[in-house]
Amino acid sequence: MRCAYHPDYFVPLPPSHPFPMAKYPLLHERLLRDGLVGPRDVLEPGEACLEELRLVHTDAYLGQLAAGTLDAAAVRRIGVPWSPALWRRSRLAAQGTLLAARAALEDGIAANLAGGTHHAFPGHGEGFCVLNDVAVAIRVLQRDGRARRALVIDLDVHQGNGTAAIFEGDASVFTFSMHGERNYPTRKMRSTLDVGLADGLGDEGYLSLLQRHLDTILGEFVPEVVFYLAGVDPALGDRYGRLALTDEGLRRRERYVLDACVSRGLPVAITIAGGYAPTPARTAELHALVFEEAASLTGQGGSRHPAIG
Ligand SMILES: [Zn+2]
């Protein structure tokens, strides 16, 4: 399975910062070590160009990001200190999701080992999200005539408020968000379908809701490409999640989503989105589940079954 990754996805943050930046290199190492991704399957993104980012984001916001002139309130809202490295990282990750989407259109499944920054709006970032990579990728694919109808399956535990706002009223993009109803963001935007979950929900309740809603969506809407935000913050013990999925529950979730897409012949681009387990290593382990399930579904195990070419 081809995966986009760049070492500069990692940006050093102050030691006390809650964002687990180390999960990106840890996940990359883990997938290579276990042969879930072969060295030749890694796609290295460049920085997404302004022309593409402008398909979603405002010139004013992009100008402030480029020049480092966001005001203190805007930086606080993002929750990660601005730096040239953060700006570069945000553009690399946006390009990574676009590369994953193009690879998925060719291969069936592909991934970005970052992305899913769904709290980014056209004119501001929030909740650790600077650029809305999935929205940019959808707009670029539409512009290029590569795919018109897109489905966003957002299973990060937080509502995809930025994505919902960007595509509200746009019938070409179906946004599906399943999230903690009482969790961040306090003010929810309107997705095509929002499923708000009660605090403490466990495997069976979560999986039955997912199955019911996703089956209905796929019966009514036929996308040309699917973006899956496989956030692992619904996991039991997540610092921000407030749900209670076990590892096995998450694994079943990943299998169900991927199988629902692949069995219908729908290309699926995976982004990893959020995850705040007690350690970055544990977070990376949880993110690895979707790659294990993708490998078992496609029969591709990276170096165990080297890709041709
Ligand atoms: Zn989240």
The whole-number pLDDT of residue 305 equals 37
pLDDT band at 298 (very low <50, low <70, confident <90, very high): confident
Predicted confidence (pLDDT) at residue 300 exceeds the cutoff of 80: no
The alpha carbon of 304 and the centre of ligand 1 are apart by a number of angstroms equal to: 32
Q: For strands 173-180 and 150-154, give the pairing.
A: parallel
> Per DSSP, which regions of 82-207 are E strands?
109-112, 150-154, 173-180, 193-197
The alpha carbon of 180 and the centre of ligand 1 are apart by a number of angstroms equal to: 10
pLDDT tens digits, one per residue of 101-157 = 999 999 999 999 999 999 999 999 999 999 999 999 999 999 999 999 999 999 999
Predicted confidence (pLDDT) at residue 8 exceeds the cutoff of 80: yes
The alpha carbon of 50 and the centre of ligand 1 are apart by a number of angstroms equal to: 26
DSSP symbol at 306: P
**Of the ranges 174-183, 195-204, 292-301, which one carries the lowest mean pLDDT score?**
292-301
The alpha carbon of 233 and the centre of ligand 1 are apart by a number of angstroms equal to: 6
Cα–chain center distance at 42: 17
The alpha carbon of 275 and the centre of ligand 1 are apart by a number of angstroms equal to: 6
pLDDT tens digits, one per residue of 56-65 = 999 999 999 9
Average pLDDT over residues 245-262: 98
The alpha carbon of 158 and the centre of ligand 1 are apart by a number of angstroms equal to: 4
The alpha carbon of 116 and the centre of ligand 1 are apart by a number of angstroms equal to: 9
The whole-number pLDDT of residue 190 equals 98
The whole-number pLDDT of residue 307 equals 38
The whole-number pLDDT of residue 208 equals 98
The whole-number pLDDT of residue 299 equals 78
The alpha carbon of 52 and the centre of ligand 1 are apart by a number of angstroms equal to: 25
Q: Which of 37, 75, 54 is nearest to 306 (CA)?
A: 37
The whole-number pLDDT of residue 221 equals 98
| Contact call for residues 269 and 137 (beta carbons, < 8 A) | yes
pTM value is 0.96
The whole-number pLDDT of residue 262 equals 96
Q: What is the DSSP string of 239-295?
A: TTT---B-HHHHHHHHHHHHHHHHTTT--EEEE------SSHHHHHHHHHHHHHHHH
Cα–chain center distance at 165: 17
Predicted confidence (pLDDT) at residue 302 exceeds the cutoff of 60: no
The whole-number pLDDT of residue 304 equals 37
Average pLDDT over residues 295-307: 60
Average pLDDT for the chain: 96
pLDDT tens digits, one per residue of 32-59 = 999 999 999 999 999 999 999 999 999 9
Predicted confidence (pLDDT) at residue 309 exceeds the cutoff of 50: no
The alpha carbon of 195 and the centre of ligand 1 are apart by a number of angstroms equal to: 15
Average pLDDT over residues 168-172: 98
Separation between Cα atoms, residue 290 and residue 281, nearest integer Å: 16
The alpha carbon of 307 and the centre of ligand 1 are apart by a number of angstroms equal to: 32
